[in-house]
Structure 1
Amino acid sequence: MKIRPPFFTIALLSSAILGYEILLMRLFSIIQWHHFAYMIISLALLGFGASGTFISIFQDSFSKRFSHVFLINIMLFALSSIGCFLLAQSIPFNPDEILWDYWQPLRLLGIYLLLALPFFFAANAIALALTCFHWRIASLYAFDLMGAGLGSLGIVLLLFVAMPLQALFIIGCIGLGALVLAAWELGFQQRNTVYTVSLVIGITIIILHNNNELRLSPYKELVQIQRIQGTEIISEYSSPLGLLSIVQNDIIPLRHAPGLSLNAKTEPPEQIGVFTDGGGLTAITRESGNPADYAYLDQTTSAAPYHLAQLNKVLILGSGGGSSILQARYHQAQQIDAVELNPQLIRLLHEDYAEFTGHLLNGDTVQLFQGEARGFISETQEHYDLIEIALLDSFAASSAGLYALNESYLYTVESLQDMLKKLQPDGYLAITRWIKLPPRDNLKLLATAVDALDNSGATNPGNQLVFLRSWQTGTLLIKNRPFTNEEIEALKTFCNARSFDLDWYPGITPDETNQFNQLAESYFFQAANAIINNERKDFFERYKFALEPATDDRPYFFHFFKWSVLPEIISLRNSGGLPLLEGGYLVLIATLFQALVASTILILLPLLFFKKTIMTASPVTAAISRNRVIIYFSAIGLAFLFIEIAFIQKFILFLHHPLYAVAIILTAFLMFAGLGSGFSQRLIQSGLYQPAITFAVIGIVVLGFLYMAFLQSIFSTNQSLTMPHKIILTVSLVAPLAFLMGMPFPLALAKLGNIAPEMIPWAWGINGCASVVSAVLATLLAISIGFNAVIVLALVLYSLAWASFPIQRS
């Protein structure tokens, strides 16, 4: 009996795969850090490349037993998706010791291999289906892409209602659902056996779920604080934006006031800690009813602007647990607007801890908005006396360079320009960052502010800047007008009383700096003097960190790594070189290197196999240019993700929410690419391979350049639209490009299916390996040359693919 292609099984399995991929990124952000999630996912996807090799070698025997092999691989995906993660998180891996402990790279390799297995099994099933049903290859690929699109949206929605570990077990159950669906769709004769096995595995999954928990790195702040006697996690809340852990200690009270003056005579009232993904501590403070209990808020560097003028209208970007709101209220601000991205944190203040905070958010002076800071700035019509960017990120992660891969549109030149426009003529922009040695964050922020002021028409930016620091934090003040002598005297009085150092103000002299929190040299003043007084080019070249300002096209504010410093880091690795190490960026480089090595092996291995067997056995296959196949599928594998990643970043600025941008862009790209693949099936049946690929590539190139030219204008024109209308416009813009991008892959696979079906798994593996490299390479290129350049490179790759379309040699 001839079996039908398992369209719906492929869709459900692809949905589970992409959901699993995104979920792993969340899980590893929690148990390790963001950049390791990126690295592990990229290398785990090498399972797709390995599947191409595996199916290529055994495709004859597998094709004869298609149903059995297909079902076994789906079952193995369901089991390994849960089991491999549980095993991986039990491996004692410490990223901070990777240059010192030779066992750490081996442990990391073990994690890679474990996480590659679920992708390997799922990709085996899909590659085998594409090979055995190559006459419906475009339709199968369409179901693959559309299922993946639904999976990307589904996992985001699931993470709003389920804890991350619960979501992992749900993914495993979806894999079992795909197994049951496959048995029915293929008309498998032993269907009842499959149903029974699925039921037993499902019960086992439920039992496992009740006996497992996430194991965070022992170096995460949450784990560290749990070592203090009396510390208790009293509740947890999860969303795609983060896992919130609420911590209290009745024996040794939590006290959180970053950069508090050593001269301070008061301490904070009772506080409850809130950790995001095991780090990024923010505190919720009890309302005591006595204003004097909040005097500690006047003993931090962020209090400086309140001593320069009466600030009635204040905007706080990143309110966290509400400390900045309390500070503004303590200094008698009449209107306090605050913006917070995470709705669950807002709910904690509004509901769960409303009485604890004395209904902080319910007063007449305070209004809390849920949203992204940059988006609020672009949409608000208000003008403020003070705009404050609060200090919320983790000191430990920031110091170790673990935010290097985090794109942030809050600290770009364009962002600071937008904020300056929302200030009153004599208003202040205050940005507080951790003090790290050697200095980097604060210096890069200063350079960014100089560019923003230059672009805003300032004749002498140095006259509109002030930088002060405590032993732990530094605050940069930017003003729309030059600071007056009265303001500078007030700042001196403020700093002297609290033992804070002034490292820059208009007219400062070297002997006025580095007085209280003394460093070996007055590093901050020397750097500020060079940056502000037109010596920045030489200073940037000789400094050990990259300090060039971040822009909207290159929004990597936390990227400080310079290749010229790497030999020094290596030479100092046993004698204190860690402060020079930007861990996140180096991990990305290591990821690219390992992905390239593994991908080369996975491509060369089947190539050698084909050369010795199929290439000599089949005269039709021997007539195919293997170089064309390699170039074509590598090019489209790289180009597809280049464009996808760049568009996600660009639309963050329009949708003003990273979660919306990822979910909507990813879903739209995959769904409409799936429709494009389905449309390709009609062209394939008509034999219009070459005209179709020409049409698709020309369309992609034309649309790509049009979007680069006009996308920013479209965003500016439609900035005032409501979110539903923005989503509709976003999908409408993505749809035609994604539709065309869904055509090149199935067109070429279908062509191979006609003239050399033996090469389909190999081509599948090449594309998978290229996609792995693409995910890492796109970020590296964006850091170095910007997202627009990444898009241009993708369009060149599509053109290269068109020129390399697989055809028979004459």
Structure 2
Amino acid sequence: MKPTTGKAALAVALVSSAALGYELVLLRFFSLMYWDHFAHLIISMALLGFGLSGSVLSRLQHRLVPVFSRSFAVSSLLFVVTLLLAASLIGRLGFNPPEIIWQGRQMIRFAAVFTVTTVPFFFAGLCIGLTLRSFQDEVARMYRADLCGAAGGTLLVFFLLFLWPPQYCIKLLALVGLLAPMVLVGRNNTGLWRLVLAVCAVVCLVWPNHILVPVMSEYKGLKQALLVPGVRVAAEKHTPVGEYTALVSNNIPFRYAPGLSLLAPVLPPEQIALFHDGHPVGVIQRGSEGGQAMEFLRWTPQALAYALIDKQPDVLVAGAGGGTDIWHALLEQAVRIDAVEQNRGLVDLITTDFTTFSGDIYQQKQVHLERGDIRGFLVASQQQYDLIQLSLFGTAVPAGAGSGHALRAQPLFTVEGLQLALSHLTNNGMLSLTLPLELPPRSALKTVTTLMAAMQRLDANSDPFAHLIVIRTWNTATIMVSRAPLSHYQQDTVRVFCKERAFDIDWLPGLKSSEVNQISVLDQPYLYEAISALRQGVAHPLSATFHVTPAVDDRPWFSHFFRWSSLPSLWTQRTSGSAALLEWEYLLLWMSFAVALVISVPAIFLPLRPFMRKHRQISLGRKERAAWIVYFAALGLAFFFVEITFMQQWIVFLRDPILAMAVIVPSFLFFAGLGSGAVKRLQQMTWLREWSWGSRRPVMLVCTVIVVVACLYLWLLSYIFQLGAAWPLTVRAVVSIGLIGGLAFWMGMPFPLGLLRLGKWYPEWIPLAWGVNGFFSVISTMVAILVALHGGFSTVIGCALFLYILIAFFEHRVWANRAV
């Protein structure tokens, strides 16, 4: 017996909730096991599963739809079982992303991870596709249940991740998925079904916790540190955006001091090492003895900024982390210290578990702590600073090239972001930034090009290179920019400072070539030569080999240096120590795209053959068949293009990555679900029914609204965000939800509008439409990143608006003259 519409909608919402919750848990799994930029890959795996379910359902619908309840129940049970199996297996398949460029078998392991991760989503998609096909007159309601359930699952896991590590959430999601067949079958359960459900519930509860724990890559700092005898975990903190770990060493204390002079007469005090998802993010200094133990900081390159400032400064520490740069500012008798840290979990770990050890650094009277994004803080702040400090002791500085972070957006390290920071300096203020030194030093050079572009925007009539200082230690490069041109006294101070500490000077106004590369000698003075060429406006070999042009807000990937023209030479040298120059994460994105295409193209077109033969007999022309495929394919591409583009802007406005995650994704899903549910009401509105032209073109009307609203947002959002930068966090969250809803509500309509027409004319095409939409959604997440990397987010949103116009055009030309 076919269940009621209400039960079917609830069952779909439960499955969708578990599936999207599982997707969020996978984001945490992959961040812990590998790196945090795998979001596009997780979304692609999920949507690939949905797409495959549509292709399979299109061939088996005549068998599965007549026994809908049983088919749905079996599919949901298989979803639960494969969810547990996949979560247990993905970390144990031996996949190590950095090795993919020199070990061919890693591609096989990557394919295995891709396949295993996709299977649960296949069964979840089969449940949803079955329901859309079986309730073809209620597709808007079912699609609303799908999207709203997904929003609920996202929020559920978001709050659970504050309490539990991600592996514990898997069991709860499996139980949520198990509720779907219980709701659907209800009292019609036979004794066998009740036994099967009971066994599945017991399996979920007793599934061993230890095999769900994600296995961390051996290339991560935390994994390597735990191999040292005597090192142990002192504390852990779990949040939705990261797992924070503190390590202590019982044998040999940690001594982390990047750039410390080899002539330093003092050593760092005892330290506790900090890690975020396995990546090092600084240390906590033993501060119980006060500032006396911090004398070593005067022998680091960061001390140069204080030597050049002739007063007790007001200091902004960006990415305060464990508090080392705060100790440095206190040592130099700073009057005011604004410390900004976006990792709330890291601050909580320091202030609750290591209050005494850290000397209660965040409670010092000069220190003002701001938890949030540094760029958002600068937008809202009116404070001027004598020094803005970004160093390797904190968390704001990008990791070195080749560290696996090439696809991580860095909103501060764009021309606009650094221009904003420079605008907060006093007339004689300085910005100091210390980076890890690579060979060739591409991060340092890209920082210089970006800073120089930012300085030119601030003052087009000034020579930005007259404000620049670059010094180098054996493992770091420090770039400093003064708001005013450097005086002769300051230039002399730099020379004395570097001579006393055995640091190299790579740029200073008036620096001679005979003064460079004297201490930590490189095979050539890369930075001096590159900056000299940059000043003269001529090409340099580094700029031909690596992408070192300034990052901008439209393309905020500071750590992306790859050029295709360099691939042949770098590829031949990859086994000779040059593997880090290849940016495996960028190449893996292209590999993922290729895998998705190889799977998607046959899965879309093979199921078409029986439909094409059948519909030739009922005058379904080739043009209309192509139009239906393009319609749902364009929707799959356009929806994610818009969502990904605007998501980047809201993250900066909300300033808190945890809040952004809690607001943006659920809001998009929820309001899109509401829009889907409003489709029938829209069609039943009197004014639309009486308007003959409009009643035949509802998709055109909706797409027109989407394009108009998106264009308004592109024009107005920057002004709204600037106006609201100083608003309280709650107000910014409410405004964001309202703005997201104003766009997402309409974006949720075209898909059910198309399905309603299919259900009326060609109901057997519904599973295929579900699959086509899923496959192109797979491609859209990767294409959006690739297009943004090369053409910017403006190109991505331009493509999205073009696709919505294309959708409206197809309705106008192909379907408008048919009776609805």
TM-score tier, shorter chain, comes to over 0.9
Kindly indicate whether residue 226 of structure 2 is the aligned counterpart of residue 226 of structure 1. yes
Q: Which stretch of structure 1 is more off in the superposition, 553-562 or 150-159?
A: 150-159
Q: Secondary structure at the match of 1:388?
A: strand
1:315 aligned residue:
316
Conservation of the 8 A alpha-carbon contact between 2:400 and 2:435 = no
The code of the aligned residue for 2:532 comes to N
1:245 aligned residue:
245
Q: 2:748, 2:103 → 1: CA distance?
A: 45
2:721 aligned residue:
715
Alpha-carbon offset, residue 183 of structure 1: 2.6
2:486 aligned residue:
483
The code of the aligned residue for 1:725 comes to V
Alpha-carbon offset, residue 573 of structure 1: 2.5
1:516-571: per-residue Cα shift (whole Å, max 9, x none)? 11111100111111223333xx3489521111211122211111111111111222
Q: Which stretch of structure 1 is more off in the superposition, 41-50 or 757-766?
A: 41-50
1:275 aligned residue:
275
1:266 aligned residue:
266
Q: Percent identity?
A: 37
Q: Secondary structure at the match of 1:546?
A: coil
Alpha-carbon offset, residue 685 of structure 1: 6.7
Kindly indicate whether residue 745 of structure 2 is the aligned counterpart of residue 745 of structure 1. no
Conservation of the 8 A alpha-carbon contact between 2:441 and 2:527 = yes
Alpha-carbon offset, residue 461 of structure 1: 0.3
The code of the aligned residue for 2:284 comes to I
2:536 to 524, 533, 540: 533
Decide whether aligned partners of structure 1 residues 203 and 382 sit closer, same or farther in structure 2, where only a CA change above 3 A counts.
Answer: same
1:77 aligned residue:
79
Kindly indicate whether residue 110 of structure 2 is the aligned counterpart of residue 108 of structure 1. yes
Q: Which stretch of structure 1 is more off in the superposition, 760-769 or 546-555?
A: 546-555
Q: Which stretch of structure 1 is more off in the superposition, 538-547 or 112-121?
A: 538-547
Q: Secondary structure at the match of 1:35?
A: coil
Q: 1:782, 1:415 → 2: CA distance?
A: 18
The code of the aligned residue for 1:111 comes to V
Q: 1:344, 1:36 → 2: CA distance?
A: 21
Conservation of the 8 A alpha-carbon contact between 1:683 and 1:689 = no
1:659-714: per-residue Cα shift (whole Å, max 9, x none)? 33333222222111111111112355788763211110111111111111222122
1:205 aligned residue:
204
Instruction: Normalising by structure 2, report the TM-score.
Output: 0.94
Q: 2:263, 2:109 → 1: CA distance?
A: 46
1:168-191: per-residue Cα shift (whole Å, max 9, x none)? 22222221223322333xx5342x
Q: 1:123, 1:620 → 2: CA distance?
A: 31
1:472 aligned residue:
475
Q: Which stretch of structure 1 is more off in the superposition, 243-252 or 674-683?
A: 674-683
The code of the aligned residue for 1:546 comes to H
1:440-489: per-residue Cα shift (whole Å, max 9, x none)? 11111111111111110151100111111111111111111011111111
Residues 390-539 of structure 1 aligned to structure 2 (within 5 Å): 390-391=391-392, 392=394, 398-458=400-460, 459-535=462-538, 538-539=539-540
Q: 2:794, 2:579 → 1: CA distance?
A: 33
2:121 aligned residue:
119
Alpha-carbon offset, residue 311 of structure 1: 4.0
1:102-161: per-residue Cα shift (whole Å, max 9, x none)? 211111111111001010000000001101110111111111111112222332222122
1:354 aligned residue:
355
Q: 1:763, 1:120 → 2: CA distance?
A: 15
Q: 1:640, 1:429 → 2: CA distance?
A: 40
1:554-594: per-residue Cα shift (whole Å, max 9, x none)? 21111111111111122223333313211221111112222
Q: Secondary structure at the match of 1:726?
A: helix
The code of the aligned residue for 2:249 comes to N
Q: 1:195, 1:161 → 2: CA distance?
A: 32
Q: 1:150, 1:624 → 2: CA distance?
A: 40
Q: Secondary structure at the match of 1:548?
A: coil
Alpha-carbon offset, residue 99 of structure 1: 2.5
1:372 aligned residue:
373
Q: 1:636, 1:100 → 2: CA distance?
A: 38
1:59 aligned residue:
61
Conservation of the 8 A alpha-carbon contact between 2:635 and 2:751 = yes
Q: 1:27, 1:413 → 2: CA distance?
A: 33
Conservation of the 8 A alpha-carbon contact between 1:44 and 1:113 = no
Conservation of the 8 A alpha-carbon contact between 2:397 and 2:435 = no
Q: Which stretch of structure 1 is more off in the superposition, 157-166 or 123-132?
A: 157-166
Instruction: Normalising by structure 1, report the TM-score.
Output: 0.95
Q: Which stretch of structure 1 is more off in the superposition, 35-44 or 128-137?
A: 35-44
Decide whether aligned partners of structure 1 residues 608 and 457 sit closer, same or farther in structure 2, where only a CA change above 3 A counts.
Answer: same
2:159 to 135, 149, 157: 157
Residues 602-751 of structure 1 aligned to structure 2 (within 5 Å): 602-612=603-613, 614-615=614-615, 619=618, 625-683=624-682, 690-751=696-757
1:284-312: per-residue Cα shift (whole Å, max 9, x none)? 11125264432221222122101112342
Decide whether aligned partners of structure 1 residues 273 and 542 sit closer, same or farther in structure 2, where only a CA change above 3 A counts.
Answer: closer
Alpha-carbon offset, residue 41 of structure 1: 4.1
Alpha-carbon offset, residue 626 of structure 1: 1.7
Conservation of the 8 A alpha-carbon contact between 1:320 and 1:345 = yes
The code of the aligned residue for 1:400 comes to G
Structural RMSD (CA): 2.2
Conservation of the 8 A alpha-carbon contact between 1:700 and 1:740 = yes
Q: Secondary structure at the match of 2:245?
A: strand
Alpha-carbon offset, residue 218 of structure 1: 1.4
Conservation of the 8 A alpha-carbon contact between 2:50 and 2:125 = yes
Q: 2:581, 2:451 → 1: CA distance?
A: 24
Q: Secondary structure at the match of 1:234?
A: strand
Q: 1:209, 1:417 → 2: CA distance?
A: 52
Q: Which stretch of structure 1 is more off in the superposition, 281-290 or 621-630?
A: 621-630
Decide whether aligned partners of structure 1 residues 74 and 620 sit closer, same or farther in structure 2, where only a CA change above 3 A counts.
Answer: farther
Q: 2:537, 2:110 → 1: CA distance?
A: 45
Q: 1:774, 1:540 → 2: CA distance?
A: 35
The code of the aligned residue for 1:132 comes to S
Q: Secondary structure at the match of 1:529?
A: helix
Conservation of the 8 A alpha-carbon contact between 1:28 and 1:36 = yes
Conservation of the 8 A alpha-carbon contact between 1:311 and 1:386 = no
Decide whether aligned partners of structure 1 residues 689 and 808 sit closer, same or farther in structure 2, where only a CA change above 3 A counts.
Answer: closer
Conservation of the 8 A alpha-carbon contact between 2:696 and 2:816 = no
Q: 2:646, 2:179 → 1: CA distance?
A: 33
Q: Secondary structure at the match of 1:369?
A: strand
Q: Which stretch of structure 1 is more off in the superposition, 133-142 or 711-720?
A: 711-720
Q: Which stretch of structure 1 is more off in the superposition, 62-71 or 92-101?
A: 92-101
The code of the aligned residue for 1:665 comes to I
Q: 2:288, 2:235 → 1: CA distance?
A: 23
Q: Secondary structure at the match of 1:34?
A: coil
Q: 2:188, 2:485 → 1: CA distance?
A: 79
Q: Secondary structure at the match of 1:101?
A: coil
Conservation of the 8 A alpha-carbon contact between 2:101 and 2:579 = no
Conservation of the 8 A alpha-carbon contact between 1:623 and 1:808 = no
Q: 1:647, 1:587 → 2: CA distance?
A: 25
Q: 2:363, 2:681 → 1: CA distance?
A: 60
The code of the aligned residue for 2:494 comes to L
Q: Which stretch of structure 1 is more off in the superposition, 238-247 or 656-665?
A: 656-665
Conservation of the 8 A alpha-carbon contact between 2:20 and 2:153 = yes
Alpha-carbon offset, residue 215 of structure 1: 1.3
Alpha-carbon offset, residue 259 of structure 1: 2.1
Q: 1:265, 1:65 → 2: CA distance?
A: 80
Q: 2:366, 2:810 → 1: CA distance?
A: 65
Decide whether aligned partners of structure 1 residues 525 and 809 sit closer, same or farther in structure 2, where only a CA change above 3 A counts.
Answer: same
Kindly indicate whether residue 591 of structure 2 is the aligned counterpart of residue 574 of structure 1. no
2:770 to 764, 770, 781: 764
5+ residue gaps in structure 2?
A: none
Question: What is the aligned length?
Answer: 803
